[in-house]
Amino acid sequence: MNLDKNRVASKVWLITGCSTGFGRALAEAVLKQGDFLLATARKPEQLHALIKHYPETAKAIRLDVTASQDIQAAVDAAIATFGRIDVLVNNAGHGLIAALEEVSDDQIHQFFETNFFGALRLMRAVLPVMRQQGSGHIVNLSSTAGFVGFGGSSLYCGAKFALEGTSEALAREVESFGIRVTLIEPGAFRTDFNGRSLAAAEHSIDAYAGVSGASLQWFKKMDGQQTGNPTKAAQAIIQAVESPRPPMRLALGIDAMKLIQEKLEQVKTDLEAWQGVTVSTDYTDSSSEVIIGVAKL
C-alpha cells in the first residue's frame, strides 16, 4: 500500500483508540475524505468493519499505549505502509471519577500510564519522523478538565493538565521544524466516556459522597444525553489540522467554551486582586529585561 503521488493534499494519520468514540468518528472522517490511516486499538479486530471499506487507504494494528513495543511497532508500520506520518492523534484513554484520597498508588500509576505516559511515548516515537520530514501535526485529546479543575476528578485533571503543559511547551520546541501541536478540549460528548470508559474509586470514602460520589452519579445519569456530537467534533479537528494557522487549543462544545471562559475570568480576577503582592516579591533593582526574557522562554 503506497501513497498516490497525484494526491498531494492527502495526509497520513496515526490515530490511537479507534474502536469507539472520538477515535472512531475521526477515523471514519479522515478515510471518507480520502486520507490515509493507520488505525490502532487494543483489539484491532474491532476495526475490521472500518478497514474493509477502505482496503487501499487504511491499515489496522494492535496498539496498547502502555506497551513501548506496541508504540514503536505502530510507528514502524505507518512508515512501512505509507512512507510518512503527517498527523498523530493521541486519543486513547479513559475517565476516572474519584477524590484524591480514594485512589490507590497502583490505580494512580495505571491511570497515568494510559492517559499521560502513553501519549508522551507516542510523541517521542513520532517526532524524529516528523523532524526528518520537516512537517507534521500532533493532536492531543485533552479535555475541558485539562484547563479547569473539577472536584472529584483530581487524577483525571492531573493527567490532562500534564498533557496540556507538555503540549504547550512542545509546540515551542518543534515549531522551527515545521511541526504543529494542537490540544483538543471537549466538553460533554456522546461517547463511551460516561459509560464503559469511566472508572471509579477503588475504595470510596463516605466523606466525599457529595463530591466524587455525586459527580459519578451525574456522569452516569448523563450517559447518552450529552450535547456534543462526535461526528461534528471529528470535522472540527480536521478543520484545525488543515488550517494554515492551527490553534494551540481548540475547545469543543458550548459547555467547554463557557467553563474555560469562567476559568480565564477567575485567573484574571486573582491576578488583578493580588497584583500588589505579586510585584512586591521582586528585588527593587529588577530589570524589565528579565520579564521579557521569561516571556520568550
Averaged pLDDT of the chain: 88
If pLDDT is split at 50, 70 and 90, which confidence band does 214 have? low
* Catalytic hit among 160, 167, 208, 215: 160
Q: pLDDT over 90 for what percent of the chain?
A: 68
Q: What angle do CA 94, 240, 154 make, to 5 degrees?
A: 30
Asked about 160 being catalytic, the answer comes back as yes
Q: Are 76 and 129 in contact (CB under 8 A)?
A: no
What is the mean predicted confidence (pLDDT) over 252-256? 94
If pLDDT is split at 50, 70 and 90, which confidence band does 290 have? low
What is the mean predicted confidence (pLDDT) over 62-85? 95
What are residue 263's DSSP bridge partners?
Answer: none
pLDDT at 221 over 70: no
Asked about 296 being catalytic, the answer comes back as no
pLDDT value at residue 254? 93
* Catalytic hit among 11, 54, 143, 156: 156
Q: Looking up cell 477515523, which residue turns up?
A: 27
* Catalytic hit among 19, 142, 212, 215: 142
Which CATH code is given to the segment(s) 12-252? 3.40.50.720
Asked about 156 being catalytic, the answer comes back as yes
Specify the pTM.
0.89
Domain boundaries, the chain: 12-252, 256-297
Query: Distance between CA 69 and CA 30 in Å, rounded?
Result: 26
Report the candidate in 120, 126, 140, 127 with the shortest Cα–Cα distance to residue 173: 127
